[in-house]
Amino acid sequence: MSSTEKDDYDVAIQKALKASIGAILQMIGFEAANPIALSTLTEMLRSYLTEIGKQAKMICEAANRTEPIISDISLALIEMGNDITKIEDFSKRPMRLVNFDQATSTTKPPMKTLRVGQRPDMPGYVPSYLPSFPDPHTYMSRQPDPPSHGTYAELREKAASQKRDVERALTTLIAKTGETDLIFEDDPLAFPLIANAKQPLPYIDALLPKEYDTVTSEETGTDANSDNPYLRPIKMPQLKKKGKTFIPIK
Amino acid sequence: MKSGKRDGYPGSGIKPYSLVHQTLCITDISFETKCLIGYVEMTIQPHIPNLKSFKLNCKQCVLYSMLINQRWDATFSYHDPTLEICKRDFKQRNLDNYKNAHANASHSVDSTLGNGEVTVQIPSDAYSAGMINEMMPFTVTIEFSLEEPRGGMRFVVSNIDGTLVERGAHLYTYGRENSSRLWFPCMDSFSELCTWKLEITVDMYMIAISSGDLIETVYTSDLRQKTYHYYLSVPTSAPNIALAVGPFEFIVDETMPEVTHFCLPSLKPLLHNSTSKLTEIFECFEDFLSSRYPFSSYKQVFVDEAYDEFQSFSTMSIFSHALLHPPTIIDQVPIMRNAMANALAKQFFGCFIVQQSWNDAWLTKGISAFLAGLYFRKTFGNNEYKHMVFEKLQAIQNYEFKVGGIVLDPAAVLSRNMDLHFSTAYAQTTSDAYLKAYEKKAFLVMRLLESRLGPGIFLQSLNKLLSLAMTASNQKYLNFVWTPMLLSTDSFLRGIATVSGKDVNTFLDLWVRQPGLPKFHGNFVFNRKRNIVELEIRQDVLNKGTMKYMGPITVAIQELDGTFRHTFNIEENKRTFEITCHSKSRRNKKKKIPLSTMEEVDMDLGAMDADSPVLWLRIDPELDLLRFVDLEQPDYMWQYMLRHERCIIAQECAISSLESFSTPQTRLCLTDCVENDKVYYRVRMQAAYCLVRVANQLAASWSGPPAMLAIFHKLFGSYSSPNIVRRNDFSNFQQYFLQKTIPVAMASSRTLNNNCPSDVMKFLLDLFKYNDNAKNKYSDNYYRAALIDALAATITPAITTVTLNGMSGRPSTELVSDDAKRILEEIVRYLNLEKLLPCYHRVVTVSCLRALRILQKFGHIPSSANIFKSYAVKGNFINVRLAALEALVDFMTAESNVETFEWLIDLIDRDDEPYITHRLAEILIEKPPFTKDIESCPLSSEEIVDKLWNMMNCKFHYDSRLRCDVVDLYHKLFGRRRPACLPMSDSTMVINLKESKLARTGLPDTSQDRIRLLQKKSADDLDYQDPFALARTHSDITATNDSNSNQGLKRKSDDLPSFDDDSSMPKVRIKRFPDDKLSLDTSLPIEETVVTTDAEPIPPPIEGISIAALVDTASRGPNLSEDSNSDESPSMFFQIFFMF
């Protein structure tokens, strides 16, 4: 138990005891209590109860048990000089106050132990109070399970959610880190829209989508042997101008 | 204009000279300054002795020198009336005047008629000095330069750092019809054929592609540049010459080494895949025409920011590179192939065989579209072809019934009475929407002609035309030799008559020389006693765009015993016809029913009328006429027709008719249609849309899941869990298109509360969620876009929240409904994802923008233009820009936002991408923010009127398409009359006077007008019969204040008030109003006052009446102000000024 949890536990007990003391004082006839007096009384009650617990524990251990039963507590009370026959009367007293807001500490459920495989059911002849079988792989040899499949629908669901989560996380990240366009002027954080950036050559993205792999595209289009005028080499200029070309007089 | 031209040799009707050869040499191109310099050398053959002058076309270019025979300087004058259409036509600033003036201006530079912007004078001593030999060809050499052209040629240079190659710098020429004059001096007419030599010098890393065969590439003497030498031996007209220069990469076609494809380096990976089918198209055409390709090379150049999807020039076509696509894209394939087929078909008819004049343009346009259609049918099947034909027919129905009739041959008499707001006599004045419909009609007429003559005969006549032209093209220049390369209506008729022996002139009279389409309304009853069907066919001849048809019409009737065709003759007063039925209504239940395709099918005859043997009836089933048919038939007949008729046009008609019969039977019938995979996919798609509409009408009694949900699950759901859509596999294209369509159709289903049912919503969101394209061969971008469209279609108006404390119900994040939130989430996610992983053509972005606008419009999110503006500016892909502009237009209309309206109008004005400005104008025309019928609109202002007028009057002289678009827009917004937002009454005069002064000072030179008048005069002398000439004289008189030189005009203008002694009138006006403030107290004596307003008592002649008084009179007389638009106003106007 971590230290903070222990503190929480203490505080809760403290609270409950304080409330009980308050209730008892009210029952007796007090109208108000000094905080110091109240805490002193609470402390007394606490040590008293602790003492009962210790006694009960000792008695139960003396009887070779680990957990005290009701008779251990009765014995402990008697040891400390109480008349236990009066407890019943006390509990049925006329001016009994019920403490409503008892602070409860949130106790966490015990950690689940990792279970592997299906534990076999108990056979009928084994008493039910005996502990259940451990996980099968711990005591018998068996083939590993085929990977868990789930139905087709579940798988699709899982894949779709995963894809969507990735997409959403990515777009949100970009939207939050970059500039955005506003859909709602009053709430810039709702539906962040990545701002539209101008592109110098917008056609490249639009015509060559990233999803299209350009691996297949390198074709042997330019066959050097084919008689196409654009494949011919560039000629060197002739020093003598042809008759046809005419240079205008500037 | 008409006389003599048709039967004379080319260009000889008027023009006493013709071109033999032209050299175009571009010596330097600068991409930084966007200019080029070069020279042309034309060899001209005079046809008359002692030729004094000739005319050339040239716009935008600067001419430096003009030499005749390389030695003698020629004097030339320049005058271009198209720079400013209406010169100080201040008072009459309306579309009717503009129409006339625009036609006149186009006339005066129409090279087919021997006119042009540049008039070259041959020096009078030229002949005596031996400079030119009589009747011998001479050369004219013109040095010119072109700087930052606004039209005709486009320099595409992006504004990034780097070399020109990295910036993707390239240039190409473009133009609408004949507009080569925008980039080099020429005779810009299709009928002016000559051989060409082209020499283009470019930097080392550039390639120059031009018309003709590449002879050689030579380094310049400094070895820093290279010169491409092209020679075009086939006589070609200047409008078919093109040029493209850039750092292009190219591939040579594998099977045809003469064919080369070019594109920018970055897009080379796409080139092979996109163009691989060209061989097939070549084979197809050569097979159809049994004639080889007329040129010896062919080049396809793919460029950025193209003017149009494709433009065809001799031996080369320039395409928009947005057509290119990777092999993973399905939707683009038919578009790409269609563009290639059309461009190639135009090489045969349009580039090789050219139209003789604008009047014959329908022939080349029609035939090339028809050829491309044949290829389309061969590749994509007969149904697709039929669908295309029907679609085109519907498009021209739409245009003709809404805007006005189309006359394919504008020379036909009726065209003068046509009630359009623009003139169709010249390509430059014809509206683009009209031209598009015109091309479709030309195609349909060719198709009709083919079915009239028989397919073989028609193709034979085309072959005849081609072979004549081929023979001609191999000849050396002689006066008449090249005539067969010009296609005119007459030569076409002759060609058909030679091959088929048929005269189709009456056919042309009906479809080519008459506007409109016949509009039939049919209904019929079965007469049991006589066993006949009495069919009544009425024609609507009164409405716009309709035509009175008399002649044969086919009616197909499906009876129990089979299909029977009857041909009736529609005559003047006959409109009821009797069809005798073959079958008796007694029927044998077991018998199969034969269809028109001779198949026999089982039918459930339970639904039909027990007495009648008629299953259904169709009027003109084979589309033998261009017509609109509206047939009344009971619903079960339409249902039988949809189920059993095999023709997809019939099925589509049945679907659209069934929409008005929402019954459970209809629902069942449509459901079966969508489900049946034997039905053509387009029909299934259409049925899906119809089914949803029927379901919406049946919403009250509808039970079970939403319409088509089950079908979708069945067709596309995965096997084990049908609710989850299968992983995408688009290898079956029919399924693919259906899968795209059904969600969109379903999205428009509505409950009784007019909301989208939650089942459908969930279904759509699941489609988003489970979309998985990992194993697909094809890209799913169009599918994802369709899903966004579907989400957008589910949106219904938000419940407006009006709070009590007067706060406006402006939507904010808290108030968005859950559904809208989910929709918005998907849209935002997809749009964001698009930024990181852009898809082909950005179709998803486009759909997202549309969806956002719909959310805004229905009040789910606040309306704002800012998002769209960032997508609408340059720097975005063209489709995205257009979608954003569409959203902005919608926003501006819905919110009456003046600022956005001005922003859009400015965009038309200043954006340098012609396709964007054109499309924006089209969007505005399609969805005008206000129309002339609306009394007042905050958007309509004087400023807008001025801006638009200014654009169409002078600014857009370089792009006739855009100019005509603005004319269309102006017409849509303000109508033909004076715009209502302009101040009327007294201020009319004040403003006009001011403007007149401004116009005066703006154009100090009156010599231009004189030239114009002289041209007019000579045109008048040539042809007295031309009604346009008469119209011209009218407008001249109203337009010309300078009446010194209008002696020749007066002859025809006797009906107008004469002002012989009024020659100084304009000057007087300027003197009297020296400053802009009309000085009202300037007392001027008035000799006589003849104010012809009936309501006003004629004021007595008073000495010293001031203009103020006159203006006052005008303002008090309501008739005067209204009349400012009417025909009387010019005379009224002049009368008032005459008084001074």
Of the listed ranges B290-299, B460-469, B477-486, B541-550, the one predicted with least confidence: B477-486
Please tell me the distance from the alpha carbon of residue B419 to that of residue B415, in angstroms, as a whole number: 9
Q: Is the torsion defined by CA of A41, A43, A49, A51 positive or negative? A: negative
Q: B65 — contact with chain A (CB < 8 Å)? A: yes
Instruction: Give CA separation, A100 vs A19, A34, A87, A186, A196, in Å.
Output: 9, 22, 22, 46, 60
CATH superfamily of B353-512: Neutral Protease Domain 2 (1.10.390.10)
Give me the residue spans of the domains in chain B. 353-512
SS3 B978: coil
Most confident of A87-96, B223-232, B976-985: B223-232
Output the pLDDT for position B91.
64
For residue A186, give the nearest of B260, B273, B812 by CB distance: B812
Task: Please report where in the chains the tokens 């000495």 appear, as a residue.
Answer: B1103
| Contact residues on chain A for B326, CB-CB shorter than 8 A | 208-209, 212, 217
Residue A171, min C-alpha distance to chain B (Å) = 6
Q: Do A210 and B837 touch (CB under 8 A)?
A: yes
Instruction: Please compute the mean of the pLDDT values over residues B331-348 and round it to a whole number.
Output: 95
**Residues from chain A contacting residue B248 (CB–CB below 8 Å):** none
- Mean of the per-residue pLDDT values for chain A? 78
pLDDT at residue B594, rounded to an integer: 86
Going by pLDDT thresholds of 50, 70 and 90, the confidence category of residue B1071 is: very low
Distance CA B428, CA B962 (A): 10
Enter the DSSP assignment of B585.
Answer: S
Query: What was the pLDDT predicted at A2?
Result: 56
Q: Which of B142, B113, B139, B136 is closest to B46 using CA atoms?
A: B136
For range B653-658, the mean pLDDT: 94
Burial class (CB in 10 A: 0-12, 13-18, 19+), B199: buried
Higher pLDDT, B513 or B1033: B513
- CB-based contact, B803 to chain A, within 8 Å: no
B251 and A164 within 8 Å at the Cβ level: the answer is no
Q: Is the Cβ of A131 closer than 8 Å to some Cβ of chain B?
A: no
CA-based nearest distance A240→chain B, Å: 11
pLDDT at B1078 > cutoff 60:
no
Q: pLDDT per residue over A162-218, tens digit each? A: 999 998 888 888 888 888 888 887 777 778 888 888 888 889 888 888 766 554 444
Tell me which of A225 and B24 has the higher pLDDT: B24
CA B466 distance to own-chain centroid: 28
Q: How far apart are CA B480 and CA B477, in angstroms?
A: 8
Mean confidence (pLDDT) of chain B: 81
Mutate to test the interface with A, among B270, B713, B813, B841 (most CBs of A within 10 A): B813
Give pLDDT, residue B252: 92
CB of A196 less than 8 A from some CB of B: yes
CB proximity B498 to A under 8 Å: no
For the CA atoms of B857, B860, B862, B864, what is the dihedral angle to 10 degrees? Answer: -40
Shortest Cα distance, chain A CAs vs residue B230, angstroms:
10
| Pick from A190, A206, A214: CB nearest B840 | A206
Which residues on chain B are in Cβ contact (under 8 Å) with A199? 875-876
**pLDDT for residue B227:** 94
Closest by CA to A223, choosing from B252, B1069, B638, B564, is B252
Distance of CA A118 to the CA centre of its chain: 26
* Mean pLDDT computed over A12-30: 85
Higher model confidence: residue B965 or residue B589?
A: B965
pLDDT band at A249 (very low <50, low <70, confident <90, very high): very low
> What is the pLDDT at residue B90?
59
- Residue pair B770/A155 in contact (Cβ under 8 Å)? The answer is no
More confident residue, B338 or B1047: B338
pLDDT exceeds 90 at position B592: no
CB contact under 8 A, A195 and B159: no
pLDDT band for B135, please (50, 70, 90 cuts).
Answer: confident
Residue with tokens 């007595």: B1100
pLDDT at B25: 95
Per-residue pLDDT at B1123: 38
Evaluate whether B779 touches A211 at the Cβ level (below 8 Å). yes
Q: Does domain A3-91 bear CATH number 1.10.20.10? A: yes
Which pLDDT score is estimated for A109? 65
Q: What is the mean pLDDT of residues B344-362?
A: 93
User: Quick check: B489 and B508 in contact, CB under 8 A?
Assistant: yes
pTM flag (> 0.90): no
Residue B435 confidence (pLDDT) above 80: yes
Inter-chain CB pairs, A–B, below 8 Å: 222
Question: At A162, which amino acid appears?
Answer: Q
| Higher pLDDT, residue A227 or B1058 | A227
List the single residue in A181, A185, A211 with the smallest CB-CB distance to B862.
A185
**With contacts defined as CB-CB under 8 Å, which chain A residues touch B839?**
209, 211
- The answer, yes or no, to whether residue B1010 has pLDDT greater than 50, is no
Q: Where are the domains of chain A?
A: 3-91, 156-198
A21: Cα separation from own chain's centroid: 39
Residue B15 has pLDDT above 70, yes or no: yes
pLDDT at B662 over 50: yes
Residues A42-55: tens digit of each pLDDT: 999 999 989 999 99
Model pLDDT, residue A98: 67
| Per-residue model confidence (pLDDT) at position A146 | 64
Instruction: Identify the pLDDT of residue A28.
Output: 83
pLDDT level of residue B1015 (50, 70, 90 thresholds): very low
Q: Is A121 on the interface with B (CB under 8 A)?
A: no
**B809 at the A interface (CB within 8 A)?**
no
Mean pLDDT of B33-58: 90
Look at A202 and B875 and tell me if their CB atoms are within 8 Å: yes
Mean pLDDT of A61-78: 89
What's the CA gap between B302 and B323, in Å, rounded?
8
- The mean pLDDT of B1003-1018, rounded to a whole number, is 40
The mean pLDDT value for A222-226 works out to 56
Helices (H) and strands (E) in chain B, counts: 34, 31
Confidence of residue B636 (pLDDT cuts 50, 70, 90): very high
Shortest distance between the Cα of A148 and any Cα of chain B, in A, equals 18
Which pLDDT does position B140 carry in this prediction? 92
- DSSP state, B349? B
β-partners of residue B353 are B349
Give per-residue pLDDT as tens, B937-991. Answer: 788 888 888 899 989 888 898 999 999 999 999 999 888 877 777 765 443 443 3
Beta-carbon contacts of residue B230 (< 8 Å; ≥ 6 apart) = B196, B197, B198, B199, B200, B210, B211, B212, B213, B214, B215
Angle of helix B432-453 relative to helix B361-380, nearest 10 degrees, comes to: 70
- Give me the mean pLDDT over the B584-588 stretch: 61
Rounded CA-CA distance B392/B293 in Å is 28
Closest by CA to B384, choosing from B686, B638, B648, is B648
